[in-house]
Amino acid sequence: MQTLIKNGIVVDTEPQPVVIGRADVRIEDGRIAEVGPDLTAPDGAEVIDASRHIVMPGFVDSHRHTWQAAIRTTTADLAFAGYAERIFGQLGPAFQPEDVLAGNLAGALESLDAGVTTLLDWSHIQHSPEHTDAAVEALRASGIRAVFGYCHQGPLSELARETRRVRDAYFSSAGLVSMAFAALGPEIAPEEQALAELETARELDLPVTVHLGGQGPDSATKGLAFLESRGFLTPGMTFIHANHYSDEQFKVIAGTGGGVSVSPVDEMTLGMGYPVTGRAQAAGMPVSFSADTVTCAPGDMFSLMRTAYTLERGRPDGVGLGFTTRDVLRMATIDGARVVGLGDVTGSLRPGKQADLVLLGTDSLGLAASYDPIAAIVLNADTSAVDTVLVGGRVVKRDGRLVGQNVPAALDALAAAAGRVTAALV
């Protein structure tokens, strides 16, 4: 099957964001085959008119608790301690497998609707194998490209066995959804559990995504030393909320091939510390963006990009003034893909990569006559501009509407789940 996206304003992101200009994108068997002007549509190819659109790689969200779509805005105005008590003490325990299914499906569809074609689902709602199965089922049903970050919530004695079950049951062959180990790690879990998590991930050859560096400078230093002393500081590890590392510690992480996931909105609103976007970039590591949770933050990349840009440019020490909209777009696309381990799969328009693309409409008063398309994406666009979305060459949103999904049914299931779960707050 071939598709030709014709005459759009094409923006690529690798090796650095650049405006190619008016050009076409040819897709063959789900992959980008060619990018250039005046390409000819092969016989039988679908032609998508992009003359009033920006054509760009899909966004990548590197850390999202997708199941929490069912409890949106439940922790607004709370600091982190209040968030943790409400989510893990009240709401999380009320989730049944069908609620996880509803939340994960709606959260994944929300992401696609907003132009996020890849997400890492940091799933810490594993109260039973049935909860886990529901989360994976929803990701698969949504049509999004995802990394399922499995965070074991049961007895420590079952950690290795259940992680292996999930890997073998769902991820023995390649597909849109792959697997990582979402570790609580040495700053949150007891040492015995942290060791078991990391040893299991190593044994099963799973990449690790972990909340490290967000509990204060002393905790950050101890956690990093824990990893270094035991040989767990390895390439591909994702450090989430790494707000309290020093510049020298970032260089250590960068030197071992680690990456950072920044959640610019809730790191500020939950009081977790100032986002490290620019400092991590200066250390030479890939930096990515994360919605984290819609319980207290927006779920779209446009909001995250603008927040990160504003906070970095406005750093009190003034050193963020060299931070650019091109830096932001790279982090929201190709660097996000690198952080979640999919840098050779998605995140740019390099021929051979999966055709995960977004077409942003430019025929609105908020985007018309934009001199710099990249600046327009970062500073002016919002979810209303997301006209068409492709994942692996398959159109999942067309003319502003998701296709191939029963969205009303998904919304009904989400409302039912939200009603059941939030009753715990009454």
Type and span of the H or E element at 418: helix 407-422
Which tens digit of pLDDT belongs to each residue from 262-306? 999 999 999 999 999 999 999 999 999 999 999 999 999 999 999
Type and span of the H or E element at 225: helix 217-229
Once rounded to an integer, what is the mean pLDDT over residues 383-391?
98
* Claim to verify: residue 305 and residue 362 sit in the same structural domain: no
% of the chain exceeding 70 in pLDDT: 100
Provide the 8-state DSSP code for 58: P
Please report which confidence band the pLDDT of residue 34 belongs to, taking 50, 70 and 90 as the band edges: very high
The position carrying tokens 């999380």 is: 92
* Claim to verify: residue 128 and residue 229 sit in the same structural domain: yes
Tokens of 373: 């398309």
CA–CA dist 117, 317 (Å, integer):
35
Once rounded to an integer, what is the mean pLDDT over residues 179-208?
96
CA–CA dist 216, 80 (Å, integer):
13
* Claim to verify: residue 183 and residue 317 sit in the same structural domain: yes
CA–CA dist 19, 72 (Å, integer):
36
Which tens digit of pLDDT belongs to each residue from 201-233? 999 999 999 999 999 999 999 999 999 999 999
| Inter-CA distances, 333 with 20, 146, 342, Å | 16, 14, 11
Please report which confidence band the pLDDT of residue 424 belongs to, taking 50, 70 and 90 as the band edges: confident
The position carrying tokens 């710099």 is: 372
Once rounded to an integer, what is the mean pLDDT over residues 304-316?
97
> In this predicted structure, what is the pLDDT of residue 1?
82
Sign of the Cα torsion 93, 140, 75, 78 reads positive
Q: Which residue range(s) make up the domain with 311?
A: 59-339
Write the DSSP string, 365-410.
Answer: TTTTT-S-HHHHHHHT--GGGEEEEEETTEEEEETTEE-SS-HHHH
Please report which confidence band the pLDDT of residue 133 belongs to, taking 50, 70 and 90 as the band edges: very high
Single out the residue of 295, 288, 244 nearest to residue 119, CA to CA: 288
- On whether residue 426 sits in a domain, the answer given is no
Type and span of the H or E element at 249: helix 247-255
- On whether residue 344 sits in a domain, the answer given is no
Would you say residue 421 has pLDDT above 80?
Answer: yes
Contact 123, 67 (CB under 8 A): yes
Would you say residue 406 has pLDDT above 90?
Answer: yes
* Claim to verify: residue 328 and residue 295 sit in the same structural domain: yes
Which tens digit of pLDDT belongs to each residue from 361-381? 999 999 999 999 999 999 999
Paired with 220 in beta bridges are none
Please report which confidence band the pLDDT of residue 151 belongs to, taking 50, 70 and 90 as the band edges: very high
- On whether residue 414 sits in a domain, the answer given is no
Type and span of the H or E element at 80: helix 80-84
Tokens of 226: 């824990």
CA–CA dist 334, 57 (Å, integer):
8
A 10 A CB-CB count for 174 gives 8
> Exposure of 145 by Cβ count < 10 A (0-12 exposed, 13-18 middle, 19+ buried)?
buried
| Inter-CA distances, 201 with 197, 204, 314, 319, 359, Å | 6, 5, 39, 38, 37
> In this predicted structure, what is the pLDDT of residue 199?
97
* Claim to verify: residue 197 and residue 311 sit in the same structural domain: yes
> Exposure of 15 by Cβ count < 10 A (0-12 exposed, 13-18 middle, 19+ buried)?
exposed
- On whether residue 346 sits in a domain, the answer given is no
Final residue of a domain: which of 293, 308, 339? Answer: 339
Once rounded to an integer, what is the mean pLDDT over residues 113-140?
98
A 10 A CB-CB count for 368 gives 12
* Claim to verify: residue 104 and residue 195 sit in the same structural domain: yes
Write the DSSP string, 282-325.
Answer: HTT--EEE--B-TTTS--SHHHHHHHHHHHHHT-TTSGGGG--H
Contact 112, 402 (CB under 8 A): yes
Please report which confidence band the pLDDT of residue 134 belongs to, taking 50, 70 and 90 as the band edges: very high
* Claim to verify: residue 149 and residue 282 sit in the same structural domain: yes
Contact 67, 97 (CB under 8 A): no
Q: Please provide the average confidence, as pLDDT, over all residues in the chain.
A: 97
Number of domains in the chain: 2
> At 156, which CATH number?
3.20.20.140
CA–CA dist 72, 306 (Å, integer):
21
- On whether residue 170 sits in a domain, the answer given is yes
The position carrying tokens 């390409």 is: 39
* Claim to verify: residue 141 and residue 282 sit in the same structural domain: yes
| Overall pTM surpassing 0.85 (yes/no) | yes
Contacts of 205 (CB under 8 A, 6+ apart): none
> At 369, which CATH number?
2.30.40.10
- On whether residue 199 sits in a domain, the answer given is yes
Once rounded to an integer, what is the mean pLDDT over residues 323-340?
98
- On whether residue 345 sits in a domain, the answer given is no
> In this predicted structure, what is the pLDDT of residue 189?
93
* Claim to verify: residue 322 and residue 381 sit in the same structural domain: no
CA–CA dist 132, 148 (Å, integer):
10
Would you say residue 353 has pLDDT above 90?
Answer: yes
Once rounded to an integer, what is the mean pLDDT over residues 103-121?
98
* Claim to verify: residue 302 and residue 378 sit in the same structural domain: no
Q: How far apart are the first and last CA of the chain?
A: 53
* Claim to verify: residue 105 and residue 238 sit in the same structural domain: yes
> In this predicted structure, what is the pLDDT of residue 66?
98
> In this predicted structure, what is the pLDDT of residue 42?
87
Which backbone phi and psi does 296 adopt, to 5 degrees?
-150, 15
- On whether residue 368 sits in a domain, the answer given is yes
* Claim to verify: residue 257 and residue 151 sit in the same structural domain: yes
